[in-house]
Amino acid sequence: MLILRRKAGEAISIGDEIRVVIIEVKGSQVKIGVEAPLGISIYRDELLQKILAENQEAAQILPDALQTDLMRAMFKDVKKSNPGFFLRDKENEH
């Protein structure tokens, strides 16, 4: 980790496209401004961690939902191509 000291009004450049400006320092709080291209997402770290955790949780749920949708689609196709398929299965049960 690079550690730099900056005063209000001073800036730090990251590459050619990102600039971090120290706007104000009050006690233990620092107000910063970030200049970056529109395509670069900028988040407070605690918000990014929350987003990542929610995405991880959603990724675990998604495969089950996809599997259910796939099974429905498969049975729908079986019913269309062979309408008596499910009736034969019920007849064999008795």
Asked whether residue 94 is domain-assigned, the answer is no
Structural domain that includes position 23: 1-42
62 and 80 share one domain = yes
Asked if the structure places residue 18 within a domain, the reply is yes
Tell whether 74 and 60 lie within a shared domain.
yes
Separation of alpha carbons 55 and 31, rounded Å? 29
Domain contains 1: yes
Global confidence as pTM? 0.56
Residue 36 sits in the same domain as residue 67: no
How many CA atoms does the CB half-sphere of 9 hold within 13 Å? Answer: 0
The domain total for the chain is 2
Structure tokens, 47: 């918000």
The string of pLDDT tens digits covering residues 18-69 is 999 999 999 999 999 999 999 998 999 999 999 999 888 877 765 666 777 7
